[in-house]
Amino acid sequence: MIEQLNPWVLLTYYVAVVGCAMVFIHPVFLGTMLILMVGVNLVGRSGHRVLMTLEGSVFMVAFIMVLNPLVNNRGAHVIWTFGGVLITVEAVMYGLLMALSLVIVLLTFISYNQYLTSQKFMYLFSRFSPKLTLLTMMTLRFVPLFIKRFKGIIQAQSLRGIEVEQGGFRQRSISLVKLMAVLLEDSFDRALQTADAMSARGYASHKRTSFQRYRFTQRDLVWLLWLLLLSGSCFFEASQGIGRLVIYPSLGQMGLSVEGWLVLLEVAILVSFPMILEGWEWGWWHLLKHGI
């Protein structure tokens, strides 16, 4: 059901979720959002991507938790000292919260890429700036496309005896440089072909129309207003210090007040918006099925 919503409603939801992941710096809030975003992606049948992201995030979380105390010595509770470097509880906690926030953003973009397709993205912004919109869309797909092409080149070059996983460090470095040279040459060639094709089709020569029209219905208006009010309330409460753990100069209490739990409920409802829609559709369908 969520894919049937107007792109403006979807964009509002994802912006609100990313904003909440950045402003609510508290382990309870971030942990709840992390679990809910995993659920949102599972409902959207993106379990494999979620698993790959979580596996890759383990190293990233550990790296940030180790790096932050090494570059940031602030904090009142010292847990370890070596070489004149102070490792504080506050620095470790701040690194953990920043890492969790980043993982939530990554999970959000998995759902974003599934529901807010390139066609919808072009529909949203091509009227304002078609060139910038196209550039942004191509940039967002550049990294996965780059990795896909690199894997294909590795498989092709392995038949010629160029292996990046065999030999010493020097030999692997030389092989990797050769593969990168092939990848860059292939990318430039494809970019020129894309530019020639776009020029031949007259892109940006006149105002661009949308291939698919997305009607803004009354239902979309209701959901958009609901998301704006709920996210506005969450951001206002965050500006008042609710849901934000005091870390420096001394780590504050992690317990939540009654108002804090109410704000957490608001955030949970906001993040679980796709699951609420899918659950409502599932329940309504079963009700009609049994009624018939």
Q: Are 260 and 32 in contact (CB under 8 A)?
A: no
Predicted confidence band at 211 (pLDDT cuts at 50, 70, 90)?
low
Q: What is the 3-state secondary structure (H, E, C) of the chain?
A: CHHHCCHHHHHHHHHHHHHHHHHCCCHHHHHHHHHHHHHHHHHCCCHHHHHHHHHHHHHHHHHHHHHHHHHCCCCCCEEEEECCEEEEHHHHHHHHHHHHHHHHHHHHHHHHHHHCCHHHHHHHHCCCCHHHHHHHHHHHCHHHHHHHHHHHHHHHHHCCCCCCCCCCHHHHHHHHHHHHHHHHHHHHHHHHHHHHHHHHCCCCCCCCCCCCCCCCCHHHHHHHHHHHHHHHHHHHHHHCCCCCCCCCCCCCCCCCCHHHHHHHHHHHHHHCHHHHHHHHHHHHHHHHHHHC
5 in the same domain as 109: yes
Structural domain total, the chain: 2
pLDDT, position 226: 94
224 in the same domain as 104: yes
- Residue 276 lies inside a defined structural domain of this protein: yes
The phi-psi region of residue 111 (left if phi > 0; otherwise alpha if psi is between -120 and 50; otherwise beta) is alpha
Q: Which of 145, 175, 209 is a domain's end point?
A: 209
147 in the same domain as 108: no
- Compute CA 92 distance to the chain's CA centroid, rounded to the nearest angstrom: 23
- Residue 33 lies inside a defined structural domain of this protein: yes
- Does residue 163 register a pLDDT over 70? no
pLDDT digits (tens, 9 = 90+) for 67-99: 877 777 777 777 777 767 777 878 888 888 999
10 in the same domain as 154: no
Helices 273-291, 258-271: crossing angle, 10 deg rounding: 70
247 in the same domain as 193: no
Predicted confidence band at 236 (pLDDT cuts at 50, 70, 90)?
very high
pLDDT digits (tens, 9 = 90+) for 30-47: 999 999 999 999 888 888
What is the domain extent for residue 147? 129-209
Q: Are 44 and 1 in contact (CB under 8 A)?
A: no
For the chain, what is the mean pLDDT?
81
- Residue 120 lies inside a defined structural domain of this protein: yes
192 in the same domain as 268: no
pLDDT digits (tens, 9 = 90+) for 141-157: 666 677 777 778 777 77
- Residue 225 lies inside a defined structural domain of this protein: yes
- Residue 290 lies inside a defined structural domain of this protein: no
200 in the same domain as 158: yes
72 in the same domain as 122: yes
Single out the residue of 98, 47, 48 nearest to residue 68, CA to CA: 98
- Residue 51 lies inside a defined structural domain of this protein: yes
Q: Which of 209, 234, 262 is a domain's end point?
A: 209
- Residue 291 lies inside a defined structural domain of this protein: no
Q: Are 232 and 18 in contact (CB under 8 A)?
A: no
pLDDT digits (tens, 9 = 90+) for 258-292: 999 999 999 999 999 988 888 777 777 767 777 65
Q: Which of 189, 209, 229 is a domain's end point?
A: 209
Q: Is 7 exposed, middle or buried (0-12, 13-18, 19+ CB in 10 A)?
A: buried
105 in the same domain as 19: yes
157 in the same domain as 56: no
Predicted confidence band at 134 (pLDDT cuts at 50, 70, 90)?
low
- Residue 227 lies inside a defined structural domain of this protein: yes
Q: Are 72 and 55 in contact (CB under 8 A)?
A: no
133 in the same domain as 116: no
100 in the same domain as 137: no
